[in-house]
Structure 1
Amino acid sequence: MNQQTLILDLDDTLIHCSKYFIKSKNQFAEQMQDWFDFLSKDEILQKQLEIDVKNVDKHGLHSSLYPESLVLTYKYFCVKYGRALKKSEIELVRRVGQEVFELEVQPFPYVYDVLDSLQEDGHQLYLFTGGDKKNQRRKINQLGLDHYFVDRVFIHEHKNSTTLKKLLNRIECEKKSTWMVGNSLKTDVKPAIELGINAIHIPSEFEWSYNIIDLEIEPSGTFAELESLLQLPVYLRDYAFIHEAI
């Protein structure tokens, strides 16, 4: 078996993430409509998305930014329509956002079987995830993923080519046998392609628009798109078979 170095994303690749935010945003929008009954849900969600993406681009993926984006959205519409800001409403909105980070997260149902297969096939597994350490560690520990990654966990609030390059330099891997696997074109696939390693895109059922971009760079390594993480072990076995035969 041709052993590979696999760098795996966490949120919406191994575990559910976006669906919790969708539920939270809908709850926020419904609350906002109680205060601004002339606003459509789409108007509210579009403004929240605009504020959220701007903050993430500037400050990274810290968990405090999401609740703050809800508060800033509330304040925006209050100022725009001359509604008095209320401390109780601000705290209610912030609480809606904070609850996302207190939920017991769920892995995709087949994750442990896939990770077991990848380990049995001899691949070296790394976890490269975006967010603040406290929140990401909470999820990793809760789901027992330390068993597979041990000290090979890398958490960055800015998940991009710069932080991926730091990881690659630290583990001293060969580009031709190294893969970035994740759901985000922006924070998983694009950095991998820019750095010349292989990339596997596994689209999420619920995708944050922040992650969706046009890839304007030609891969120098292998680039594949799989429908499910379940296909990953077989794909890598087939890849190894073909390349060992060449």
Structure 2
Amino acid sequence: MAPCQRKKANAQKSLVHFEGRCIIQPCGVTMKKHSNPRTVNSKTRLYSPFGLGTSLDIVYDYHYRCFRQNERYSTLLVYSRDIDNCNPKEPLKSMAVFRDKQGRQKPDPESVKVINMNGAKITGTTAKNLAEFEEMLFGGSGWLSTLKVFQLVAFAGTVGHYNEALRGSLLKKGGLEKFKLFKDETDGKSALRTADDKLLAELEAKEVQATNEEVDKVDEICIPQRLLLLAK
């Protein structure tokens, strides 16, 4: 991105929705002679696909200058947000961060650092924290592997979307190298994808049938099963 370019003058008041993701504040700064951004600041919100009224506030900050060792830091903060955190007066306010008395942005004490880079050291979060994010979004845990949840949170937080020079290291050391897929999960390339597509078609056909027939004549449909199949 060019220095803090916005597509519209009122970008702070507009929301971009894509499959439950709300982009609250995207902003990137890059040097003129380089394609990689020096600084990225992004705030997003990921809503539950089941309409549970829950969401995750995600704040991604990145700063890197290759010739200065003290200018190499990044954080991906995630705050679990329920219906009580909704603020109609400030709908774009992220719960993951706050401003101190000097106006400096600070992470909320309840925010989780999913990715943290300080100098040459990059660390990630725990499987327990990822399971809590899964429960917040889907109303249960154990349906998706920790790797899937990490990928969901990281990509919803726009990590790697700006061609950052260290994007690969952030994602690998933050979780891609540490977490694994479930045995029956697909990565979109495996042979199980064909079976998943067939099962998805059958479930969607049952939904269409349910809308055309009386409820007592149709077997109960597990909507989460269909949606989680899409998540795989």
**TM-score of the two chains, using structure 1 as the length reference:** 0.28
Between the two structures, name the one with larger relative contact order (CA 8 Å, sep ≥ 6). 1
Q: TM-score, normalised by structure 2?
A: 0.30
